Structure 1
Amino acid sequence: MGKTLGGLDAEIETIDREVEQHLDLLREVRRYLHMHPEPSGGEFQTTLYIAHQLREHGIDHRVVESERGIIAGQLGASNEPLIAIRADTDALSIIDEKSVPYRSRHDGVMHACGHDAHSTMVLGATLALNALSRGLDRPLPWRAIFQPAEETALGANEMVASGAVDSVGKILALHVDPTFQVGRVGIRRGALTAQCCGVEIEIWGKGGHAARPHDSIDPIVVASQLLSLIYQTVPRRNDSREPVVVTFGMIEGGKNPNVIPERVRLAGTIRTTQRETTERIKNQILAICRGLSEASGAGIDVDFPMGPDAVVNDPDLTDQCEEVIVDLLGPGAAEHIPQPSMGGEDFSAYLREVPGCLMRLGVADGRHRAEPLHSPRFDIDERALALGAKLLARAVVTLAHQDARGATP
């Protein structure tokens, strides 16, 4: 007779034992992924490699239609809501500057945001949950999601469209955080990340000779005025207690030093924690562009491509996850994050469908200066791999027990 969902302590022991038995494999998987990164939209070999690991361990899985994502665990309809755990698999277009044996072998592409670690930890949790499930006399309601293209905010939507959250009632994820040491986990109820919106501006002037600007409409001058006006106006017209960040990271225009160009392009982002704030900022930018266009004679076209919504952690689920963190790592291991990050995360696409919680897992070793995310020297303390796998798997079985108690008449 297999164990029932009544033996939570025994199930946690099984999870921890399974993860410990696979420590070498987890390190090997993480280093392989770190050496073979693929950018957003090109995660084909990464998907094949993860699918191979799942197949080798007898875990049911399905590669989605794009061949760049995987759904594992319970694949069909379920009589009870599933608890999903999610990893992202894509890398960034950054040159790896580390001097370690597992540095990137793909020039100009690097796992500088820890997605190799995320994939490894979810794989580790999947191995443990699969082993545990074989000893139970009823299905354990879990699913694992390996998604592509988080950095371009497209992958989560692709996975939702592929049925990743069908029959799912809750979803959990970890993101590595080099500002916390190994053994610490950052949590926050409510808004954890920003809503992100792109800003793409095209300024059309009248080209001419650099010696005769009076015969031209110089789009470079208009671009400089526009940037100055936006940077001055937005902070003065919005409540300073409300998080707002507007940044332009790209200016493109002109090819010759003695020619006034016809066109200049600007691109940046708007980051807030509320959709209403984003809409207000967009209207302010549009008003500035209209006024400057009339004053300068230049044409100004503006587009606002939408990025990910804010990640808003479910308060009750966050509290439950905190209990799991403390049980695994001890009192004080859960660090309450006081303010939301102004970074973006497409985990929010899942949260439009089901409640969830994204946690920040410490990966700094405490001995060396930790490189920030997206640094060309970013790395992690690999002791975090087992902790992340245990935390996710423990959270799944703990939530399953709580759901089962709540469903008992």
Structure 2
Amino acid sequence: MKNVQALYQSSEILEKASELKEQLIAWRRDFHQHPELGFEEVRTAEIVARHLEQLGLEVKRGVGRTGVTAVLRGKEPGPTIGLRADMDALPIQDQKQVEYRSHVSGKMHACGHDAHTSILMGTAQFLTQMRRPERGTIKFIFQPAEEGLGGAQAMIEDGVLSDPQVDAIAGLHVFPFVPVGRITAVRGIGCAASDSIQIRIIGRGGHAAYPHMTVDAIAVSAEVISALQHIASRNVDPLDSVVITIGSIHGGTARNVIAPEVVLEGTVRTLNPELREQMPERIERVIKGITEALGATYEFTYHMGYPSVKNDDAMVDLVLKASEQVLGAGKYEIVKPSMGGEDFSYYTHKIPGVFFRLGVGNKEKNAVYPLHHPQFDLDEDALPIGVAMLAEVAHLFLQNNP
């Protein structure tokens, strides 16, 4: 085998990673057939842990409840980089007609975490079997419960960024609107803060034929929903991004009964941390004004969810350089931030980090559906690219940092 330095100086690194392709596909399809929701990833975590132990790594189970970590140490002391993958699935019914579709009713890997887990397993094998790093340490982080349950925070509270102390972290996310063979990244804020709201509009119910004797909670809620959009269009600087979406409405029991109350649930996405802090007051001011004007009352709950992902410029540069090493020149693009939420943000608020997108789109293989879609799938040719990218980012970080 050629030495590791030579491999890292050409696209031969991708050729080497491609030797793992069949195994990567097998892992990914197995996870896809057996999806587990957040903090339920017992089977997935056991498969991951056994593989890491077989590689001879220092493995810890039960980190952040169902997470797994493994440590690969170099010959000499040096910095530590963390590489993270999330393992949980979504409560979505798989509608694909493929042999590896989900075997679990109402659960599906619709966000590609099966691929993330497989890629990081492959990265651990790739780096271990090629040659341990000359100096420094790589910590593999297999995280539970990214989909709204804050698994990253649970792992941090369980000490995932210590013993050894992690100096920087990298992660990737498959993306179907980027073709296979390409990488995208964002400088600065990469993903939005993701918060949730619940609004209870309290009116006075009655007969549909006598609306003047009631306070129609459904009519009031319609005004509230409409007015909330004015925050984004007329109350916030157009150069600041904010999304307010009401995704759930529950109220009423019959066509001829005016509903006494309605419960609205939604999400608020922001990129600017200062604007995020202002949103609870701005939203409640709208609700208060409309309900008072129309004779209703309200209850309002604002829950701060994931903060925004902060990509470190130096770490982004490593991703771009890694892309050139793995895929050749011109295979990456710096793009605008996403309004999607991602709990990788908890890591980037603690240490420098980078979260980049791995292209998995391919019309010929029907890999065209968006994330969280019941027919989401990906081009598995991207799996060894993910391995090569994470391995090269880790190598460059350990090489370039004292």
Give TM-score scaled by structure 1 length: 0.90
- CA contact 2:90–2:109 (8 Å) conserved in 1: yes
194, 207, 213: which is aligned to 1:215? 213
- Cα shift readout 1:359-391 (whole Å, capped 9, x = no counterpart): 100011253551111111111111111010111
- C-alpha contact (below 8 Å) 1:208/1:259 kept by paired residues: yes
Aligned length: 394
User: Is the contact made by 2:115 and 2:383 (CA closer than 8 Å) also made in structure 1?
Assistant: yes
Within 2, Cα distance between the matches of 1:61 and 1:265? Answer: 46
Matched, 1:48 2:43: no
Using the alignment, how far apart are the partners of 1:249 and 1:26 within structure 2?
36
2:180 alignment counterpart: 182
Assess, with a 3 A threshold, how the Cα gap between structure 1 residues 271 and 346 changes in structure 2: closer, same or farther. Answer: same
Matches within 5 A, 1:8-407: 8-10=5-7, 19-65=17-63, 67-74=65-72, 80-134=78-132, 140-166=136-162, 167-337=165-335, 339-367=336-364, 370-403=368-401, 407=402
Deviation (angstroms), 1:18: 5.8
The answer (yes or no) to whether the contact 1:125–1:390 under 8 Å persists in 2 is yes
Contact (CA 8 Å) 2:63, 2:69: kept in 1 or not? no
**Other structure's SS at 2:319 match:** helix
Distance 1:21 1:140 in 2: 26
Equivalent pair of 1:82/1:141 in contact (CA under 8 Å): yes
Instruction: Determine helix, strand or coil for the equivalent of 2:78.
Output: coil
Letter in 2 for 1:362: G
Deviation per residue, 1:99-157 (Å, 9 max, x gap): 111001111111111100011111110111222455x6x55410011111111151110
For residues 294-327 of structure 1, the C-alpha deviation after alignment (integer angstroms, 9 at most, x for no partner) is 2122211111111111112101110122011111
Separation (CA, whole Å) in 2 of partners of 1:163 and 1:386: 30
RMSD: 2.1
Hey, what's the Cα distance between the residues in 2 that align with 1:184 and 1:28?
Answer: 23
- How many angstroms does 1:98 deviate by? 0.9
Output the CA distance in 2 between the equivalents of 1:263 and 1:308: 30
Mean alpha-carbon deviation: is it higher for 199-208 or for 231-240?
231-240
Q: Per residue, is there more strand in 1 or in 2?
A: 2
CA contact (8 A) 2:31 2:44 kept: yes
CA contact (8 A) 1:12 1:394 kept: no
CA distance in 1, matches of 2:282, 2:90: 32
% identical equivalent positions: 37
Deviation at 1:328, TM superposition (A): 0.6
Which residue identity does 2:211 align to in structure 1?
A: P
Instruction: State the AA in 2 paired with 1:348.
Output: S
* C-alpha contact (below 8 Å) 2:64/2:144 kept by paired residues: no
Structure 1, unmatched stretches of 5+, are none
SS at match of 1:191: strand
Q: How far apart are the structure 1 equivalents of 2:345 and 2:369? A: 26
Question: Which deviates more from structure 2 when the two are superposed, residues 259-268 or residues 54-63?
Answer: 54-63
Pick closer, same or farther for the CA change 1:27–1:350 going to 2, 3 Å.
Answer: same
